[in-house]
């Protein structure tokens, strides 16, 4: 049995549903409500497909390349930590990805589905939290369910984006993104230390 709350918080941090709201508003401001709903659904489904692909095939790809999972866990932890630092000290998710939105037309895929929803941190987390050596099939399915639950929240927030934007504004979304970055930094450190321990136990 996995820790449902910890897994949910992890995916909530790396996917950052609230930070996606201003990105969604920026990329859909020229569309009517029906088109906005279609874009939200398409972006969510695309993100889910990509993350599930990493759950299913990520470890197989690593094994085929001869990369031990402990090494990937250490590298993934470091990358997640750098990703978290960029959320805390650099441009926030809304700031950086809105700039991408202003220069690209394929809005549902880029930058909405990738990298806003299915972020690099989410892809790495999908692999690390479903390792075959650490988690059985039931636990992996439980992890996927928490990941999909966060994606459902993303979809709901995108549909309610106008109300949320009026409620918290871009500044509020930026604050939430930085808090999630701090949580993610702690999770990344834990993953790195666990990977180092596993490496030396082999």
In the chain the domains, ranked by start, together with CATH numbers, are: 4-201 (1.20.1250)
For residue 103, the model assigns a pLDDT of: 41
pLDDT surpasses 90 at 159: yes
pLDDT tens for residues 88-125? 887 655 555 655 554 434 678 887 898 789 987 788 88
pTM score above 0.85: no
For residue 93, the model assigns a pLDDT of: 59
Other C-beta atoms closer than 10 Å to the C-beta of 121 total 27
DSSP class of 118: S
Task: Locate 101 and state its tokens.
Answer: 């939105």
Q: Quick one: which H or E segment has residue 153?
A: helix 137-159
Strand runs labelled E in the chain: none
pLDDT tens for residues 116-141? 899 877 888 899 899 888 899 999 99
Candidates 12, 8, 53, 7; CA nearest to 157 is 12
Average pLDDT, the chain: 85
Least confident of 99-108, 159-168, 176-185: 99-108
pLDDT surpasses 80 at 202: no
CA distances from 67 to 60, 64, 75, 201 (A): 10, 8, 11, 16
- Size (the chain), residues: 202
DSSP class of 130: T
pLDDT surpasses 90 at 13: no
Q: Average pLDDT for residues 131-155, to the nearest whole number? A: 95
Residue with structure tokens 């394929």?
A: 106
Q: Average pLDDT for residues 173-199, to the nearest whole number? A: 83
pLDDT tens for residues 14-47? 898 988 888 888 778 788 888 899 999 999 999 9
Candidates 10, 17, 44, 25; CA nearest to 163 is 25
Task: Locate 148 and state its tokens.
Answer: 């999909």
Helix (H, G, I), strand (E, B) or coil at 90: coil
Q: In which band, very low, low, confident or very high, does the pLDDT at 171 lie, cut at 50, 70 and 90?
A: confident
């Amino acid at each position: 049995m996995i820790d449902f709350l910890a897994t949910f918080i992890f995916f909530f941090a790396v996917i950052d549903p609230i930070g996606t709201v201003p990105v969604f508003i920026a990329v859909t401001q020229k569309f009517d409500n029906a088109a906005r709903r279609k874009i939200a659904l398409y972006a969510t489904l695309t993100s889910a497909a990509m993350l599930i692909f990493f759950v299913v095939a990520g470890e197989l790809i690593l094994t085929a390349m001869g990369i031990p999972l402990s090494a990937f866990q250490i590298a993934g932890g470091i990358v997640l930590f750098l990703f978290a630092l960029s959320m805390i000290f650099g441009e926030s998710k809304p700031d950086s990805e809105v700039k991408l939105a202003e220069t690209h037309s394929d809005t549902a895929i880029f930058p909405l589905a990738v990298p806003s929803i299915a972020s690099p941190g989410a892809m790495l987390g999908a692999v690390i939290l479903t390792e075959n050596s650490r988690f059985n099939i039931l636990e992996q399915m439980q992890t996927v369910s928490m990941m999909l639950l966060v994606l459902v929240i993303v979809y709901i927030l995108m549909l309610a984006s106008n109300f949320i934007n009026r409620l918290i504004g871009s500044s509020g979304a930026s604050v939430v993104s930085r808090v999630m970055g701090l949580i993610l930094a702690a999770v990344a450190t834990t993953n790195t230390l666990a990977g180092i321990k596993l490496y030396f136990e082999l």
